[in-house]
Amino acid sequence: MEENKTYTISVYTENNLGLMNRISGIFLKRHINLESITASQSEIKGVTRFLFVIKLSEDKVRKLVGQIEKQIEVIKAYYHTDEETIYQESALYKIATDLLFDDRQIQNIIKNSNANIVTVAKDYFVIEKTGRRKETEQLYNELTPYGIKQFVRSGRISVSKEAMNISNTLQNFNY
């Protein structure tokens, strides 16, 4: 058995209704759980980019990518190891405002973690931290004793070190 590793699957697609369902169904059919999902506009106008993070053997990832790429409205799909990508996650932490002023330590935590204060309201303030999972988790752990009212972390976003050449693929289409 091949060893499971973390892979980022990048899928360039048309921006069409139902594609998310179609692609996630490919994982569901094979009983594969996703670590995270992100969908956004890509560098090309009208082309959506999905990012899926999974822990799987390379053999299975390769087959998955083949099945994904086979879908009519998928332009191209790739998979990469962590080493082959630049990746980040973003997290938001909502905390009671009085703590910010009453407890000097919180200010130090924010400063040392390179987090940003997004907003300060009468009752709460919101901290944003972008980085690797370890960093957002560390901040989470440090803030926990003060009481985190809400916490949310985005799916992974990443770019590959290698070129993906989607524009070339699309340019080659001429009928």
Cβ contact 12:166 at 8 Å: yes
User: Residue 13 or 158: which CB sits closer to another protein?
Assistant: 13
Site for another protein in 2-21 (CB under 8 A): 13-18, 21
The pairing of beta strand 47-56 with beta strand 124-131: unpaired
Q: In whole angstroms, how close is the CB of 51 to another protein at the nearest point?
A: 18
Residue 152's alpha-carbon distances to 92, 142, 148, 149, 164, in angstroms, are 5, 15, 11, 11, 30
Q: Which residues contact 14 (CB under 8 A, 6 or more apart)?
A: 46, 47, 48, 73, 75
Neighbours of 52 (CB within 10 A): 28
Determine if 58 is a binding residue for another protein (CB under 8 A).
Answer: no
Determine if 29 is a binding residue for another protein (CB under 8 A).
Answer: yes
Cβ contact 1:59 at 8 Å: no
Residue among 107, 99, 76 nearest 149 (CA)? 99
Judged by CB under 8 A, how many residues of this single chain contact another protein?
26
Of 30, 41, 55, 62, the one binding another protein by CB under 8 A: 62
User: Residue 31 or 134: which CB sits closer to another protein?
Assistant: 31
Backbone angles phi, psi at 16, to 5 degrees: -115, 150
The stretch among 2-10, 26-34, 122-130, 132-140 that binds another protein (CB under 8 A) is: 26-34
The structure tokens 């924010």 sit at 110
Q: In whole angstroms, how close is the CB of 64 to another protein at the nearest point?
A: 10
The stretch among 62-70, 107-115, 120-128, 151-159 that binds another protein (CB under 8 A) is: 62-70
Q: In whole angstroms, how close is the CB of 174 to another protein at the nearest point?
A: 8
Query: Six-digit token pair at 120?
Result: 């300060």
Applying CB under 8 A, the residues found at the interface with another protein are: 13-18, 21-22, 25-26, 28-29, 46, 62-63, 66-67, 69-70, 72-75, 170, 173, 175
